[in-house]
Chains A and B, each alone.
Chain A
């Protein structure tokens, strides 16, 4: 253990011994090693996701655990998300209004465009990034500490898949609660934006609350993003937690990795869903 702590990266003893035997990769080999590592992580993520879906359909019924996770993921995040989205709504409207004023001094459509942007993209993406920091870190830390204290191994000993026991309730709770939280945060961001527009640019709330630019396509894209982020965050975080090694410091690394990877997943999914949405609902 002492040797592991001394080394700059956290590597299990078995691997570091193997490293000592094998030569360090250099040059192009580094690139290849990284690529193989990326492919392996991708495959593991895919495996976790598929198994989670499988257990959602075929696994044990435990509504208590799901409810508990819904409370942890949902209700405990409401205050945090409300504050963050409230401020972000104010900032977005203020900056957008300032820029728009330079181009066209006509802010009657500020609310309409802001609402479309919020529903299509910003509410889901910013909310999910915030949730990734809070929920992802929580899931990774919880599962990671169970891994390092060998509780997961104990589960496996009793022929119970830790994904069924640990990941599935979090997954279901996250999909439901992320959607609810993002709808709530969109409302909060719109409300704070409306107040900002009224105080800073004298745009009447009645004018600001203009839904003419929002159509069913925008709403579909927004809801699809909610579900996708709600599914991606627990899967990525649980994978980070399950691949924890190296004691309490390993738990810290796993938490960091969970937040970074969840955020990356959110951004990449955003790109893919936006592109698909643009193809399906042009304009």
Chain B
């Protein structure tokens, strides 16, 4: 057996080893952290399974932890809906410069099945740093349970609808199939026609485009049209200016006519007027007859018949008379005596 002294040394070594391992483990575990921290309050409606003591990480690096989870739903403060849960988070001061006012606080998990933790997306550096004790709104994690239950409900409804209306569905699908089949057959049969129609339509559209272009050139981008429009404009302006007086005149005229008509209203006057009109008609007839006589006379004269006609129409006579007049001028005594 070993000497008492060496036994003491060996036992001491074992105890020291164990205590050293334990102390090192506790230190590494992070239970003792002497970095100064500052608090931030993060509000959630439902932070999932996030618990007190869960780590807070920026880009996977642990920067703090959750120290308190308060349920605040029971506080009837205002009508405004408050987030239900407020988490007190302590973040080490040396990371304070990385947490800005527009940082995003969200809940995520480590690995596929790992524990949940609060992650901070630092935000943009042009915004000020989040102050001590600041309250921010956290991004609620997706509610997988709700998603499952709601999609279950949806699936259940869909399945029962299909099950209860199997015949209708099969009918509908049959109809759809037949329609599709018919459409397919139609296209098969009329493929060439449809091609032709398509090319015609294409041609048509091309032509229409050309036409439109030409029409545009001619009737839209044309100075003449502008002029016409300007004229129309002038005319309308003038009309607008002139129409009211004309209208007034017309009104007046109409009023006068009305008055005349009113004055002609009784029977005796009407008979008189009729009489006058018939007399006028006789007069006109007689005038007509006179005119036709005169016309016949004139035509007679024109033809050179009769004395007046010969006088008017016969040039020989005129010449003779002219010559006689000249002769008389030269020899005025001829009236008085014979040579």
User: Is A179 a contact partner of B111 (Cβ separation < 8 A)?
Assistant: no
Pick the residue among A67, A109, A183, A187 that contacts B8 (CB under 8 A).
A67
Evaluate whether A187 and B21 lie within 8 angstroms (CB atoms) in the complex, with A71-B7, A180-B14, A214-B29 already known.
yes
| Residue B59 lies at the interface, judged by CB distance under 8 Å to chain A | no
* CA–CA, A213 and B25, complex, Å: 13
| Residue B214 lies at the interface, judged by CB distance under 8 Å to chain A | no
Pick the residue among A67, A184, A212, A216 that contacts B11 (CB under 8 A).
A67
Chain B: minimal CB distance from A275 (Å)? 21
Q: Which of B112-120, B246-254, B260-268 contacts A (4 or more CB under 8 A)?
A: B112-120
Evaluate whether A176 and B111 lie within 8 angstroms (CB atoms) in the complex, with A67-B8, A68-B7, A219-B29 already known.
no
Pick the residue among B7, B22, B30, B111 that contacts A211 (CB under 8 A).
B30
* CA–CA, A70 and B10, complex, Å: 10
Evaluate whether A106 and B29 lie within 8 angstroms (CB atoms) in the complex, with A71-B7, A183-B22, A184-B18 already known.
no
Evaluate whether A106 and B14 lie within 8 angstroms (CB atoms) in the complex, with A184-B21, A214-B29 already known.
no
User: Is A219 a contact partner of B18 (Cβ separation < 8 A)?
Assistant: no
- 10 tightest A-B CB contacts, nearest first: A180-B18, A183-B18, A71-B7, A211-B29, A70-B11, A75-B10, A109-B111, A108-B111, A106-B112, A187-B21
| Residue B78 lies at the interface, judged by CB distance under 8 Å to chain A | no
User: Is B31 a contact partner of A216 (Cβ separation < 8 A)?
Assistant: yes
User: Is A106 a contact partner of B111 (Cβ separation < 8 A)?
Assistant: yes
Residues 19-62 of B contacting A (Cβ, < 8 Å): 19, 21-22, 25-26, 28-31, 51, 53, 55, 62
* Residues of B near any A CB (own CB < 8 A): 2, 4, 7-8, 10-11, 14-15, 17-19, 21-22, 25-26, 28-31, 51, 53, 55, 62, 110-115
- In the assembled complex, which residues on chain A have CB atoms less than 8 Å from the CB atom of B112? 104, 106
Tell me what chain B mostly uses at the interface: helix, strand, loop, or mixed. Answer: helix
* CA–CA, A187 and B17, complex, Å: 11
Chain B: minimal CB distance from A35 (Å)? 41
Please name 13 pairs of A and B residues whose Cβ atoms are closer than 8 Å in the assembled complex, sorted by A: A67-B11, A74-B11, A74-B14, A75-B7, A106-B111, A109-B110, A109-B111, A179-B18, A181-B14, A183-B21, A211-B28, A213-B115, A219-B25
* CA–CA, A283 and B50, complex, Å: 12
| Residue A8 lies at the interface, judged by CB distance under 8 Å to chain B | no
| Residue A91 lies at the interface, judged by CB distance under 8 Å to chain B | no
- In the assembled complex, which residues on chain A have CB atoms less than 8 Å from the CB atom of B22? 183
Pick the residue among B10, B55, B114 that contacts A109 (CB under 8 A).
B114
Chain A: minimal CB distance from B1 (Å)? 9
Residues 72-125 of A contacting B (Cβ, < 8 Å): 74-75, 78, 104, 106, 108-109, 112
Pick the residue among A75, A212, A214 that contacts B14 (CB under 8 A).
A75
- In the assembled complex, which residues on chain A have CB atoms less than 8 Å from the CB atom of B51? 283
User: Is A219 a contact partner of B17 (Cβ separation < 8 A)?
Assistant: no
User: Is B18 a contact partner of A67 (Cβ separation < 8 A)?
Assistant: no
- In the assembled complex, which residues on chain A have CB atoms less than 8 Å from the CB atom of B21? 183-184, 186-187
- In the assembled complex, which residues on chain B have CB atoms less than 8 Å from the CB atom of A214? 29
- In the assembled complex, which residues on chain B have CB atoms less than 8 Å from the CB atom of A180? 14-15, 17-19
* CA–CA, A75 and B13, complex, Å: 9
Chain B: minimal CB distance from A217 (Å)? 9
Chain A: minimal CB distance from B51 (Å)? 6
User: Is A104 a contact partner of B113 (Cβ separation < 8 A)?
Assistant: yes
Apart from A71-B2, A75-B7, A108-B111, what are 15 other A-B pairs with CB-CB below 8 Å?
A67-B7, A68-B7, A70-B11, A71-B10, A74-B14, A75-B11, A106-B113, A180-B19, A183-B18, A184-B17, A184-B21, A187-B21, A215-B53, A219-B31, A283-B51
- In the assembled complex, which residues on chain B have CB atoms less than 8 Å from the CB atom of A258? none
* CA–CA, A78 and B30, complex, Å: 29
User: Closest chain A residue to B53 by CB distance?
Assistant: A215
- In the assembled complex, which residues on chain A have CB atoms less than 8 Å from the CB atom of B25? 211, 219
- In the assembled complex, which residues on chain B have CB atoms less than 8 Å from the CB atom of A181? 14, 18
- In the assembled complex, which residues on chain A have CB atoms less than 8 Å from the CB atom of B10? 71, 75
- In the assembled complex, which residues on chain B have CB atoms less than 8 Å from the CB atom of A109? 110-111, 113-114
Chain A: minimal CB distance from B3 (Å)? 11
* CA–CA, A179 and B55, complex, Å: 30
Evaluate whether A177 and B14 lie within 8 angstroms (CB atoms) in the complex, with A67-B7, A183-B22, A214-B29 already known.
yes
| Residue A23 lies at the interface, judged by CB distance under 8 Å to chain B | no
- In the assembled complex, which residues on chain B have CB atoms less than 8 Å from the CB atom of A176? 15
Chain A 13-29, CB-CB to B under 8 Å as 1, else 0, gives 00000000000000000
Pick the residue among B7, B8, B18, B115 that contacts A212 (CB under 8 A).
B115
* CA–CA, A68 and B111, complex, Å: 49
- In this complex, the member of A177, A179, A187 whose beta carbon has the largest number of chain B beta carbons within 10 angstroms is A187
Chain A 164-191, CB-CB to B under 8 Å as 1, else 0, gives 0000000000001101110110110000
* CA–CA, A64 and B4, complex, Å: 8
User: Is A212 a contact partner of B31 (Cβ separation < 8 A)?
Assistant: no
- In the assembled complex, which residues on chain A have CB atoms less than 8 Å from the CB atom of B18? 179-181, 183-184
- In the assembled complex, which residues on chain B have CB atoms less than 8 Å from the CB atom of A64? 4
- In the assembled complex, which residues on chain A have CB atoms less than 8 Å from the CB atom of B53? 215
User: Closest chain B residue to A70 by CB distance?
Assistant: B11
Chain A 41-68, CB-CB to B under 8 Å as 1, else 0, gives 0000000000000000000000010011
User: Closest chain A residue to B57 by CB distance?
Assistant: A212
- In the assembled complex, which residues on chain B have CB atoms less than 8 Å from the CB atom of A68? 7
